[in-house]
Structure 1
Amino acid sequence: MQLVKPVGREAAARKYDILSALMAYALSQDKHCQRRVLRLMALITTRYNWKRDELAMGQEEIARLWSVDTRTVKREMARLKGQGWLVLKRQGARGRVSVYGIDLEKMMEDTRPAWVNIGPDFVARVDPPAAPAPADNVVPLRAAAPPVQDGTLWARVQERLHGEDAALYGAWFGPLQEAGVEDGCLILLAPSRFHASYVQTHLAARLVAAVQRLDPSLRDVRVEA
């Protein structure tokens, strides 16, 4: 998705949409994730500069806001950076605190599976369907045949993905093969490195959502070449 930046006349509404997505996502996760997202929301609502995409706040200040010690701050900030939601823009030095940006597009893509919990009006507003291209430029995708059912989890997930969008399934999901489960993560094999990278970058949230609907014990999906 291409997120409309929360600036201009509709900035307030867009900010509420982003915070709503975070809230719905947190409520669908375990208590540890809920607490981490709540802490991030506290930073966003108190110190984040939306226009400049800057979060500048010292560790002691963050610890006071979160009612924790600085070791917890370091650990949680590292996890948010590892998740790709926080981006270090300038490393802190003597007398200066570190400055972070927030990857709003990554954050919204990760929270996508929980949008439906808010309502279809929210989904349509945050990620409206793209306008159709001119007829001369349209290259139709060939819809693939339904997957063969063999009783495995991946076959059932494929059936669901095919039912949602047969053309998308044929282009990207159909060629994937199950390689096993490791530490709550379903591992899939793609026919090429590019194929794996594209699915992991652009379709991972949709893939994870489909898998978790059928097996909530799986927390993630990894696509490898």
Structure 2
Amino acid sequence: MSHTGPARTEQIRANIRAARARIEEACEKAGRDPSEVSLIGVTKTYPASDVRILASLGVTDVGENRDQEAAPKAAETADLGLNWHFVGQLQTNKARSVASYANVVHSVDRAKLARALGDRAAAAGRRLTCLVQVNLDTDSEAGVIGPRGGVDPGDVVGLAERIAEHEALTLGGVMAVAPRDGDPDAAFARLQEVAGVVRDHYPRATVISAGMSGDLEAAIGRGATHLRLGTALLGSRGPIVG
């Protein structure tokens, strides 16, 4: 099947429509306004042509997990004025690259990374919004960091302070990935609590980035403001980069 052209555009258009219907239904159940929920199209393993299709259909917030994929896509679609969200685990040595194109980094989980991103953004004359990634694995409080990364809920405010005090960074709020084998509602309820604590200290840090294609309803029910959707928008297929 061709991954460009009218057929691909129509497929993605239908997927967006279906995703928005799910969001509206979940918002209705939660007593929320759908306008409070932003949709981020996560384009990992999908080509830059899909990024262009998403943009043409009104999805201008785009997310990536790996700098090796994100940097060339951001360069190739620089004419579109997109908001790039970096949502994956990030090594400090990639901070310079990510700070050159990302608008929001969702996965800040240590002070060293926050400092590196801030210093690189400052050097590039840019400002970055950062979210504290919260580890929702139940064993995190025993000091075990889950495979998806994140900081223990008890350490979130300390890291938020490090972000907020850097002149080139804006503290946006929090992000989390639900544990693979856990109850997403319980996990996102915990995140909502943590988000409230952060907002008590930093009232403008209102972002709760939670929910992916399989658990967006639970996330919306627990206050998510940003959903990270890949499969729901672009379908399931093998790695294609370009």
Question: TM over 0.5: same fold?
Answer: no
State the TM bucket, normalised to the shorter chain: under 0.3
Structure 2-normalised TM-score?
Answer: 0.25
Between Structure 1 and Structure 2, which shows a larger proportion of helix residues? 1
Bigger relative contact order, structure 1 or 2, given CA contacts below 8 A and separation 6+? 2
Q: Which one has a bigger Cα radius of gyration?
A: 1
